[in-house]
Structure 1
Amino acid sequence: MRASWKTVLPAVAMTAVSMALTLAVVMLWLGPAMPWLVALVVGLGIDGGWLATLAYERRLAAQGDHSTPVTAVGWSFGLVATGVLIAHALTVEESTGAWLAVAWLPIAAKALWLVHSMWERTALTAGALTQIRGIQQEARDDAAVARARLRAQAGTEETRLTAVTQAGARVARVQAETARTLSDAWSTLETARGGEGTSRALTCVTAPVTPDVTPGVTPRWELPVWGPSEQVSARAQELGPALTDDALDALVDEIRLSVDPALSYREVAVRFRAAGHSASETRLRAAWKRVA
């Protein structure tokens, strides 16, 4: 109710000024031509008709109703008042522009009442306005939370991708470095194994530390060979005591010469164990070297 005064007060003030101005103009314009009482009646008739139609329009608006004929009559009285002001301004030789400047006041008053009626039709209660503000604020809060969640998820995903990329790069570097180190080590081992004095150098130090390992046989030491390993079969693990050197030499020589050309050590070792025989890698290699 308090907010309605923001629109009704300007309309009331403009209407009062327009009615007073219309009455004054009618008295000034018609006063010299007729008795002043007649001019006063004419002026009050215009203002009274305008005020009556305005009151009736306000009553209908308060009931939530509207009447087009009443509205048309009200605008007619406003146009008559405006026409009187314009006619008076045109007949006055002095200050014509000043009288024309105020001739629009009745139309302006009607327009202000129209604005007030539109405000009343769209006005909401304080509770409804509070609910609307709450809904709007909730929507803004939800939008802000959604934006913050998306930014946080984007930042987290970026951090995760960066960490995964860095970890993958570190793993790749470590694997490459390990591969180079292993390749260098096996290259060095292969070079040492292929040397002419490697076998003699390793064998010459075995006598003090492995006395009487195998009677009548000088221990021989060999560096490991780069290549796939062969798992000893269960049958070989279940065999009885190990073969003697002579029996082992005979078996190795038989297997080596079973095809032409003679088999290599790896092929001999594979066929030796596939046949179910059992011997350590060191003894088998020593036997192969003796017969080869």
Structure 2
Amino acid sequence: MKAKTVLPAVAMTAVSMVLTLAVVMMWLGAAVPWPVALVVGLGIDGGWLATLAYERRLAAQGDHSRAVTAVGWSFGILAAGVLVAHALTAEHSAGAWLAVAWLPIAAKALWLVHSLWERTALTPLALDAIRGIQQEARDEAAVARARLRAEAATEETRLAAVTEAGARVARVQAKTSRTLAGAWSTLEAARRGEETGRALTSVTTPVTPGVTPRWELPVWGPTEPVPALETAAPALSDDALDTLVHDIRHSQTPPLSYREMAARFRAAGHSASEVRLRAAWKRVAA
């Protein structure tokens, strides 16, 4: 890479010096002896080459001198001025000489580019380390992107499964609700049917003679919790139980249903099994 920047600068500097020397010889050769013109041309080229060498020495030491740089640019501008003056005074090929008059300035610019490259140049070891760091960063970024894509795909699959399961549960619940609604409709229709009472009477009369059956549907919906008793209440006799059931049932008009009576019976702190309480109800209702 160093040769790519220094070789063009060296070549253009050499061409500029040759052109400057040739122009000085052609321009001053007619006015002064040629040795004098040669000395003037070599003086311009020598001063330019000396300041350039000094600049390169300072650059190799990591130093910089504005005065030396100014002197170098002065010699470059002087050489370019000689070429421009010769082009303007030449009778033939003025355009060609004017076209190459910029070479000294271009040579100085190339040396400036080369010095900037030297200030920022890195060793092969440092370049390998930088390439390794960049490759490691690219690898980590690729792994992170792959991990994010995998997590996104997993989350998408999980959400799809949860959604499908929720839809399946909703379908089952809807089907169950329709089945229960049909069952309760059937029970309600049977309870309100004209033949229900006679059918129940024919079934229950041999078991409970003298008791008119009354069919009530089970509890459908939320129930109220029954407060726990602090102490176990003594068992009630059948007569006492019948009296309590009768009083609770007729505590308001119209008489309470069995479910309302049972709730008030237990809320009052009384204790009786469901079988005995229902038997008492049937005796009172009869």
TM-score normalized with structure 2 length: 0.78
The alpha-carbon deviation at position 191 of structure 1 amounts to 1.6
Whichever residue aligns with residue 117 of structure 1, its letter is S
Equivalent runs, 1:24-173 vs 2, <5 Å: 24-173=22-171
2:283 is the counterpart of 1:287: yes
2:221 is the counterpart of 1:225: no
More moved, 171-180 vs 105-114:
171-180
Q: Secondary structure at the match of 2:108?
A: helix
Measured in 1, the distance between the counterparts of 2:17 and 2:119 equals: 26
The alpha-carbon deviation at position 152 of structure 1 amounts to 3.8
The alpha-carbon deviation at position 7 of structure 1 amounts to 0.5
- Asked if structure 2 preserves the Cα contact closer than 8 Å seen for 1:222 and 1:282, the reply is no
The alpha-carbon deviation at position 200 of structure 1 amounts to 3.1
Q: Secondary structure at the match of 2:194?
A: coil
Whichever residue aligns with residue 183 of structure 1, its letter is A
- Asked if structure 2 preserves the Cα contact closer than 8 Å seen for 1:248 and 1:287, the reply is no
Measured in 2, the distance between the counterparts of 1:104 and 1:269 equals: 117
Measured in 2, the distance between the counterparts of 1:158 and 1:115 equals: 56
For the structure 1 residues 227 and 139, does the alpha-carbon distance in structure 2 shift closer, same or farther, using more than 3 Å as the test? same
For the structure 1 residues 104 and 9, does the alpha-carbon distance in structure 2 shift closer, same or farther, using more than 3 Å as the test? same
- Asked if structure 1 preserves the Cα contact closer than 8 Å seen for 2:44 and 2:79, the reply is yes
Of 4, 7, 10, which aligns to 1:9? 7
After superposition, the C-alpha distances for 1:232-266 in whole angstroms (9 at most, x for unaligned) are: x9979x969x96xxx79976985577646473450
Measured in 2, the distance between the counterparts of 1:288 and 1:196 equals: 24
More moved, 63-72 vs 173-182:
173-182
Q: Which runs of 5+ in 2 are unaligned?
A: none
The alpha-carbon deviation at position 101 of structure 1 amounts to 0.3
- Where does residue 174 of structure 2 map in the other structure? 176
For the structure 1 residues 108 and 271, does the alpha-carbon distance in structure 2 shift closer, same or farther, using more than 3 Å as the test? closer
Measured in 2, the distance between the counterparts of 1:65 and 1:149 equals: 51
Q: Secondary structure at the match of 1:32?
A: coil
Q: Which runs of 5+ in 1 are unaligned?
A: none
- Asked if structure 2 preserves the Cα contact closer than 8 Å seen for 1:85 and 1:99, the reply is yes
- Where does residue 193 of structure 2 map in the other structure? 195
Measured in 1, the distance between the counterparts of 2:246 and 2:9 equals: 128
The alpha-carbon deviation at position 218 of structure 1 amounts to 8.3
Whichever residue aligns with residue 178 of structure 1, its letter is T
Measured in 1, the distance between the counterparts of 2:212 and 2:132 equals: 94
- Asked if structure 2 preserves the Cα contact closer than 8 Å seen for 1:86 and 1:99, the reply is yes
Count matched residues. 277
Measured in 2, the distance between the counterparts of 1:52 and 1:18 equals: 15
Whichever residue aligns with residue 190 of structure 2, its letter is A
The alpha-carbon deviation at position 84 of structure 1 amounts to 1.3
Measured in 2, the distance between the counterparts of 1:253 and 1:259 equals: 10
For the structure 1 residues 261 and 104, does the alpha-carbon distance in structure 2 shift closer, same or farther, using more than 3 Å as the test? closer
Whichever residue aligns with residue 21 of structure 2, its letter is L
For the structure 1 residues 31 and 276, does the alpha-carbon distance in structure 2 shift closer, same or farther, using more than 3 Å as the test? closer
For the structure 1 residues 282 and 200, does the alpha-carbon distance in structure 2 shift closer, same or farther, using more than 3 Å as the test? farther
The alpha-carbon deviation at position 277 of structure 1 amounts to 5.2
The alpha-carbon deviation at position 184 of structure 1 amounts to 2.0
Measured in 1, the distance between the counterparts of 2:116 and 2:263 equals: 105
More moved, 257-266 vs 135-144:
257-266
* Percent identity for Structure 1 against Structure 2: 64
